[in-house]
C-alpha cells in the first residue's frame, strides 16, 4: 500500500480508509511543515501582547474572560486536554480513532491552527507506530467539534492516558511512547485548543461509512438479483430504457447491476415466453433499483459534503492567510451531522426492502413452488423461519437508529455553547446501522442461495452461480435443520469482506 502524504491540501476519503483501516504509513509534506512554522510565529507574537487573545492568553469557553499569565500557559493547555478527556463508556473502534487522528493532523498541516511543527509530527509518529489512544463512546456533543474524543487523542501525544498497541495490548501512553523512541509533547500556547477543536471524529466515521457503503450498495443489488431469480421474477423491468425514463443516476446504476447479474440465467429463461402469466412482481423485487438507487444518490450527496469538509481547516481561533488570529464558528458539526442522519435513513430502508424479499421466500403462497420456510421436511424442520425473525428484528432496530440525532441539541458550558450538532451521536448510530444492514443482506443472500439450490435441475446464471459457489464454501446447501447462527455469521463475513461482490465481479461488471 502506498504511503499517504499529508500536506496543506485535503486528504481524500481513500486516504482516510488507507490509514484507518489498512494501516498505511503517513508522510508529512516539508513545504506544509514550513507553513505550519510560519503560522506558529504569529501565535508566539500574540502571546507576548498585552491585549488578551482567545486560547492564547485567555481561558476557554465560558472562562474566556480570564487573562492567563505567561508562566501559567503551559499548564493552561495541559489542563484543557486533561479536563476535556472526559469520555465514558465502551471503547471506540481502532479504525475510528485512527481516522480521527489523521483528520486532526490534516487540519494541523494547513498552517491555520498555529501549532508547532513538532506537534504535527507527533500525530504522524503515533499513527505510524500504530499506537491508538483509547477513546470512549460518550463525550462529544459535536460542538465545539468532537472535544472529548479529540482530547483523549491529544492526551496520548502528551504521554498521558492509555493507548492500544498494534498487537492489542493496553499500555499507559508514556510507556508506549518510550518503547517506540517517541517523546511526549509539552503543549505551548493555543496548541491544546488546536488539538481538540474539530469535526474529525464524526467526519472520520462518515468517510469510513462511505467506503463501507460502496460495498453494501453493490451487494444489495446482487442480493436483489438473487431473489428475483430464485422467486421466478422477471428481469424485463430492469431494462435500461425503462430506467432512463426516470433520470435518477443511482437508480440506473442499480438496475444495471441487477440486469447484468441476471444475464444468461436459465432460471429466468425458464419462465419467459407466451405461457408466462407473471405480469408484475411485488414491489420489493420490481422497485429494488428505485430504493437502492435513492440510497446511492444519498451517499453521493454525503460524499460531496465530506469532500468539502476534508478540505476545511476547522479550529477556533484560526490563523488566517494574512496573519490575523480570528474566532469563528466553523467547529459546529451541522453539515456533517445532517448527512450522517440522512445515510441512516437510507440504510434502514435498504435493509427494510431486503427483509421483505427474504420473507417472500418462506411463504408457500408467495414463493412459487418452494417448500414452506425452505425447510427440508416442513413441520419437522423449521428451515429459515427464524433467520427472517433475525432480519426483522434488525430492521426494527434500524428504524429507531434512523431517527435523526442532529435535530437534538442540549446547551453546555454555562450556556456559552447553547446549540450543538450531535454529529458524533449520528456517526455512532450510523456505524451500528451499517452493521445491521450487512447482517440483513447476508440473511437475504443465505436465503436466496438456498432457494436457488431448491430450483434444481434449473441452474442460475453465471454471476449468481459465482455467488452461490462462494456461499457454499462456508455454508452447506439445503438439508435437515442445522445450528443456524454460525451459518448466518459466515455469510455476514462474506458480505462484509466484499467476497460476495467480488464473486459476481469475477464474471461480470458490477458498479
DSSP per-residue letters across 78-102? HHHHHHH---EEEEPPHHHHHHHHH
Residue 433 has pLDDT above 80, yes or no: yes
pLDDT of residue 272: 85
- Residue 275's pLDDT band (cuts 50, 70, 90): low
User: Would you please indicate which residues are annotated as catalytic (active-site) residues?
Assistant: 54
pLDDT at res. 22? 98
The two counts, helices (H) then strands (E), for the chain are: 20, 9
At 117, the pLDDT band (50, 70, 90 cuts) reads very high
Average pLDDT for 22-28: 98
CATH of domain 4-198: 1.10.275.10
232's torsion region: left (phi>0), alpha (psi -120 to 50) or beta? left
Is residue 54 predicted with pLDDT exceeding 80? no
Please state the three-class secondary structure of 229-271 as a single string: HHCCCCCHHHCHHHHHCCCCHHHHHHHHHHHHHHCCCHHHHHC
What angle separates helix 200-230 from helix 94-108, to the nearest 10 degrees?
130
As a whole number, mean pLDDT of residues 117-141 equals: 97
Q: State the average pLDDT over residues 219-236.
A: 97
* Percent of all residues in the chain with a pLDDT value above 70, rounded to a whole number: 98
Can you give the pLDDT at residue 277?
66
* All cell numbers assigned to 116: 508547532
Averaged over 418-439, what is the pLDDT?
Answer: 96
**Half-sphere exposure of residue 283: CA atoms within 13 angstroms, side-chain side:** 6
Among 220, 239, 231, CA closest to 267: 231
Identify the sign of the CA torsion 283, 287, 292, 294: negative
- Is the pLDDT reported for residue 213 higher than 70? yes
Residue 50's SS3 state is: coil
What confidence tier does 60 reach under pLDDT thresholds 50, 70, 90? low
pLDDT of residue 63 exceeding 70, the answer is: no
Looking at residue 383, what is its pLDDT? Answer: 97
Assess whether the region 4-198 and the region 205-313+346-505 belong to the same CATH fold. no
Angle at 136 (CA atoms; ends 134, 138), nearest 5 degrees = 160
Percent of the chain with pLDDT over 90: 85
- Between residues 403 and 1, the one the model is more confident about: 403
Average predicted confidence (pLDDT) for the chain: 95
Q: What is the pLDDT of residues 339-349, one digit of tens each?
A: 999 999 999 99
Note the pLDDT of residue 372: 97
In the chain, where are the structural domains located?
4-198, 205-313+346-505
Specify the higher pLDDT residue, 141 or 59: 141
Domain 205-313+346-505 annotated CATH 1.10.486.10? no
Give the pLDDT of residue 1.
79
- Which of 309, 311, 234 lies closest to 270, judged by CA? 234
pLDDT tens digits, 319-337? 998 888 888 988 999 999 9
Amino acid at each position: 500500500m502506498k504511503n499517504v502524504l499529508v500536506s496543506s491540501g485535503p486528504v481524500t476519503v481513500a486516504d482516510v480508509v488507507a490509514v484507518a483501516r489498512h494501516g498505511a504509513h503517513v508522510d508529512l509534506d516539508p513545504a506544509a511543515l514550513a507553513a505550519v512554522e510560519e503560522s506558529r510565529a504569529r501565535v508566539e507574537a500574540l502571546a507576548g501582547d498585552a491585549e488578551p487573545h482567545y486560547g492564547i492568553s485567555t481561558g476557554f469557553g465560558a472562562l474566556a474572560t480570564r487573562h492567563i499569565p505567561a508562566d501559567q500557559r503551559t499548564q493552561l493547555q495541559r489542563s484543557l486536554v486533561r479536563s476535556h478527556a472526559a469520555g465514558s463508556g465502551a471503547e471506540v473502534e481502532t479504525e475510528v480513532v485512527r481516522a480521527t487522528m489523521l483528520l486532526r493532523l490534516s487540519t494541523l498541516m494547513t498552517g491555520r491552527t498555529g501549532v508547532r511543527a513538532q506537534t504535527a509530527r507527533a500525530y504522524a509518529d503515533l499513527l505510524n507506530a500504530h499506537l491508538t489512544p483509547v477513546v470512549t463512546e460518550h463525550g462529544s456533543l459535536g460542538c465545539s467539534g468532537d472535544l472529548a474524543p479529540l482530547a483523549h487523542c491529544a492526551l496520548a501525544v502528551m504521554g498521558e492516558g492509555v493507548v492500544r498497541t498494534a498487537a492489542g495490548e493496553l499500555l499507559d501512553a508514556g510507556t508506549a511512547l518510550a518503547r517506540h523512541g517517541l517523546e511526549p509533547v509539552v503543549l505551548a500556547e493555543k496548541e491544546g485548543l488546536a488539538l481538540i477543536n474539530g469535526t474529525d471524529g464524526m467526519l472520520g466515521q462518515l468517510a469510513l461509512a462511505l467506503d463501507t457503503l460502496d460495498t453494501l450498495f453493490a451487494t444489495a443489488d446482487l442480493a436483489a438479483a438473487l431473489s428475483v431469480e430464485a422467486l421466478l421474477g422477471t428481469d424485463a423491468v430492469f431494462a435500461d430504457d425503462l430506467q432512463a425514463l426516470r433520470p435518477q443516476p443511482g437508480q440506473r446504476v442499480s438496475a444495471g447491476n441487477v440486469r447484468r447479474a441476471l444475464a444468461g440465467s436459465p432460471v429466468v429463461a425458464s419462465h419467459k415466453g407466451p405461457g408466462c402469466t407473471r405480469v408484475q412482481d411485488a414491489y420489493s423485487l420490481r422497485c429494488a433499483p428505485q430504493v437502492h438507487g435513492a440510497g446511492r444518490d444519498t451517499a453521493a450527496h454525503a460524499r460531496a459534503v465530506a469532500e468539502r469538509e476534508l478540505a476545511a481547516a476547522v479550529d477556533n481561533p484560526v490563523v488566517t492567510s494574512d496573519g490575523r488570529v480570528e474566532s469563528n464558528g466553523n467547529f459546529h458539526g451541522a453539515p456533517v451531522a445532517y448527512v450522517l442522519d440522512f445515510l441512516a435513513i437510507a440504510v434502514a430502508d435498504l435493509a427494510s426492502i431486503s427483509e421483505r424479499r427474504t420473507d417472500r421466500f418462506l411463504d408457500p403462497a408467495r414463493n412459487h413452488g418452494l417448500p414452506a420456510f425452505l425447510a427440508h421436511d416442513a413441520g419437522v424442520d423449521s428451515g429459515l423461519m427464524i433467520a427472517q425473525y433475525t432480519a426483522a428484528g434488525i430492521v426494527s432496530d434500524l428504524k429507531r437508529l434512523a431517527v435523526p440525532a442532529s435535530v437534538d441539541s442540549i446547551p453546555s458550558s454555562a450556556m456559552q455553547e447553547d446549540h450543538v450538532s450531535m454529529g458524533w451521536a449520528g456517526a455512532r448510530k450510523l456505524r451500528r446501522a451499517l452493521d445491521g444492514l450487512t447482517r440483513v443482506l447476508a440473511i437475504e443472500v443465505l436465503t436466496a442461495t438456498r432457494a436457488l439450490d431448491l430450483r434444481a435441475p434449473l441452474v442460475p446464471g453465471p454471476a449468481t452461480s459465482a455467488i452461490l459457489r462462494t456461499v457454499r464454501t462456508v455454508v452447506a446447501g439445503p438439508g435437515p435443520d442445522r445450528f443456524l447462527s454460525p451459518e448466518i455469521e459466515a455469510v455476514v463475513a462474506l458480505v462484509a469482506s466484499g467476497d460476495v461482490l467480488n464473486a459476481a465481479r469475477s464474471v461480470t461488471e458490477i458498479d
